[in-house]
């Protein structure tokens, strides 16, 4: 599974210094994406339309809201089935509620959630956001190497990504 690491850099020059090191760390150039607000003609690896729209936030919101709706439908069904003394249907509703509760718990506790709106202020002031897609098992090593060799790069967290879909 791929994970996206976010790093803020003060300017494009710092980002250009970091990219060759990322390639030396085993990151493919296609897995490096930059968002530069003040220079749309930047020579840094461009981010896709979906990355600039932060489609992951929209997918997470849809999944979370769908999960909540399903939970409340199951709750209403449970109340109805208990009132009508339909025990098997009531048990099915309880199972659905338990599954939605567990899925919500997993989502809330284990899915890293960083979104572009958290970087708006920095981007509006000319900083560069570098997004690096890497295997989850390599993420700590990449963060450590960047922290040691590029002190101007500020780690901004990590988030899930669907690399095959350009998200």
DSSP tally for the chain: helices H, then strands E: 6, 4
With a cut of 90, say whether residue 141 has pLDDT above it: yes
The structure's pTM equals 0.74
Partner residues linked to 36 by β-bridges: 128
With a cut of 90, say whether residue 17 has pLDDT above it: yes
With a cut of 80, say whether residue 165 has pLDDT above it: no
Q: What is the mean pLDDT of residues 16-20?
A: 93
As a whole number of angstroms, the distance between CA 153 and CA 12 comes to 11
Other Cβ atoms closer than 10 A to 157: 15
Of 72-86, 104-118, 145-159, the one with minimum mean pLDDT is: 104-118
pLDDT at residue 146 in the model: 94
Q: What is the mean pLDDT of residues 136-164?
A: 87
pLDDT at residue 109 in the model: 75
pLDDT at residue 8 in the model: 95
As a whole number of angstroms, the distance between CA 160 and CA 154 comes to 19
- Helix, strand, or coil (residue 84): coil
The class (CATH top level) of 2-54+118-165 is alpha beta
């Amino acid at each position: 599974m791929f994970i996206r690491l976010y790093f803020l850099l003060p300017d494009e020059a710092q980002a250009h210094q970091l990219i060759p090191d990322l390639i030396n760390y085993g990151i493919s150039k296609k897995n490096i994406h930059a968002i530069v607000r003040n220079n749309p003609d930047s020579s840094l690896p461009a981010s896709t339309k979906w990355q600039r729209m932060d489609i992951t936030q929209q997918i997470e919101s849809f999944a979370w809201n769908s999960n909540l709706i399903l939970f409340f439908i199951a709750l209403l069904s449970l109340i109805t089935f208990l009132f009508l003394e339909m025990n098997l249907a009531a048990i099915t509703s309880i199972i659905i509620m338990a599954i939605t509760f567990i899925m919500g718990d997993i989502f809330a506790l284990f899915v890293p959630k960083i979104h572009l709106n958290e970087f708006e202020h920095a981007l509006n002031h000319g900083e560069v956001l570098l997004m690096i897609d890497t295997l989850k098992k390599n993420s700590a090593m990449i963060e450590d190497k960047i922290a040691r060799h590029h002190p101007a790069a500020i780690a901004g967290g990590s988030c899930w990504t669907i690399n095959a879909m350009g998200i």
